[in-house]
Amino acid sequence: MSLQWKFMMKRSSLLLVTFFVGIAPTIAQSNKVFHAFYYPYGIVIDSKGSLFVTGKNNKVIKISPSGQVSEFAGSPNGNAGTIDDYGTKASFRDTRGIAIDGQDNLYVCDYNKVRKISPAGLVSTYVGNGNYKQIDGSLATASFNHLHNIATNKNGEMYVTDQLFDEVKKEDYHTIRKISKDGSVSTLRNTDGSPIRINYAGGITCDSEGNLIVCDQRSRCIKKITERGKVSTIAGKCDFQKWNPIYKEGSIASALLVEPSGIAMNKTGEIFFADLRMHRIIKVVNSRVTTIAGNGEIDFSHSNIGGYAEEGYADGNAKSSLFDGPQGIAFDRDGNLFIVDSNNKCIRKLSNGGVVSTFCK
């Protein structure tokens, strides 16, 4: 079981729910959809404003702009499989990262395959022949081990994070595979020719220049990887403190991160990411790291040596809100940020006015 899924099976014994006086939240309900948000993971938004969410339920959930929830693809009962077909006739076995292209086609990391879903709901296997190996090649011959995250760049190319296990260090890590428009799969390499290794990729996105931005969870930092394989640090001090980490805001040179997870960029190229253990939404703007949502009390002396902050569930002013294991995030065309609040099993919305609400649960 991966680091993220281990974390998400944890539940708090206390669930705090508060609302600001004067705010009457309207929450879309998903009661009629079985396990609609069962430890949700990834999220994207299409050109019409509909949300698509993946999670540990082997399906893709669609949420209309008005909040209507439906099963877009995958078995209604969550049964695992690899069937290519329309909508709920199709099946998945491990729906994780999700990306979208300019034509509103969805691409989903499904264990060792990338599945494509058309706007009409047709599910097909885009790449991955089912072998549990990392082999570069054409769409027909390439294989993957265990895919977690996916992102598309301005040229229509895709990047995926592929998990491997280090037998010496006894820990898993990720390599990054590139899926080119010509249908070839390759492994990103450092300038010295060695495969680029990410200690554990929590989320990835691409900037307007085609660079890949990666949340390196175990190194506790955010990295940029150019198309030529040059790796640099955007925020945080990589590998600075493995255990009992400290979260510290400030300049990108001095800031300390704990467990960066889902990541997205707004229209102006500013970076926003979720911190899985600090239960916060954080931005990197003007060379500074700042919390914009989430207020769980941080305990640096807690017995959880991976890092600890108070989890919870509270809507209202962003600086007073509480989350529990935020994962994927995505901006809509109006600048609102939608957040997968995984352990609370719901989708939260951070308005561009600085208010957090529960959009759907």
pLDDT in tens, 58-88: 999 999 999 999 999 999 999 999 999 999 9
- Return the percentage of the chain with pLDDT > 70, whole number: 91
**How confident is the model over 40-58, as a mean pLDDT?**
97
pLDDT at 301: 82
Question: Tokens 């390196």 appear where?
Answer: 216
Band (29; pLDDT cuts 50, 70, 90): low
For the ranges 107-111, 192-196, 238-242, the one whose mean pLDDT is highest: 107-111
Give percent of the chain above pLDDT 90: 83
C-alpha triplet 261, 180, 104: angle, nearest 5°:
65
Which amino acid, residue 53? V
Stronger pLDDT, 191 or 355, i.e. the higher one: 355
Q: Which of 26-35, 216-225, 307-316 is least confident? A: 26-35
Least Cα distance to 36 among 87, 81, 70, 73 occurs for: 70
**Sign of dihedral through CA atoms 149, 171, 13, 257?**
negative
Query: Given the DSSP bridges, would you call strands 17-18 and 313-314 parallel, antiparallel or unpaired?
Result: parallel
Cα angle, residue 140 at apex, residues 134 and 143 outer, rounded to 5° = 15
pLDDT in tens, 144-153: 999 999 999 9
Residue pair 359/348 in contact by the 8 Å Cβ criterion? yes
Q: How confident is the model at residue 19 (pLDDT cuts 50, 70, 90)?
A: very low
Q: How confident is the model at residue 2 (pLDDT cuts 50, 70, 90)?
A: very low
Ramachandran assignment for 345, one of left (phi > 0), alpha (psi -120 to 50 degrees), beta (any other): left
pTM for the predicted model, two decimal places: 0.90
Residue 18 has pLDDT above 70, yes or no: no
Nearest residue to 358 via CA among 10, 30, 21: 30
Q: Between 258 and 18, name the one with better pLDDT.
A: 258
Residue 188 pLDDT more than 60?
Answer: yes
pLDDT of residue 183: 85
Give the pLDDT score at 50.
98
SS (H, E, C) the chain: CCHHHHHHCCCCCCCCEECCCCCCCCCECCCCCCCCCCCEEEEEECCCCCEEEEECCCCEEEECCCCCEEEEECCCCCCCCCCCCEHHHCCCCCEEEEEECCCCCEEEEECCEEEEECCCCEEEEEECCCCECCECEECCCCEECCEEEEEECCCCCEEEEEEEEECCCCEEEEEEEEECCCCEEEECECCCCCECEECCEEEEEECCCCCEEEEECCCCEEEEECCCCCEEEEECCCCCCCCCCCCECEECCCCECCCEEEEEECCCCCEEEEECCCCEEEEEECCEEEEEECCCCECCCCCCCCCCECCCEECEEHHHCECCCEEEEEECCCCCEEEEECCCCEEEEECCCCEEEEEEC
pLDDT above 60: residue 317: yes
pLDDT at 22: 38
What is the token pair recorded at 189? Answer: 């390499």
In the predicted model, what is the mean pLDDT of residues 39-54? 97
pLDDT at 23: 38
Is 295 a residue whose pLDDT tops 80? Answer: yes
CA atoms of 11 and 307, how far apart (whole Å): 16
CA torsion through residues 217, 222, 227, 229, sign: negative
Report, as an integer, the average pLDDT of 172-196. 94
Give the pLDDT confidence of 5-14 residue by residue, as tens digits: 444 434 333 3
pLDDT score for 30: 61
Confidence bin at 343 (pLDDT 50/70/90): very high
Neighbours of 297 (CB within 10 A): 9
Of 200, 196, 197, nearest to 227 (Cα)? Answer: 196
Q: What is the mean pLDDT of the chain?
A: 91
Measured CA to CA, the distance from residue 73 to residue 59 in angstroms comes to 6
Q: What's the rounded mean pLDDT across residues 115-132?
A: 96
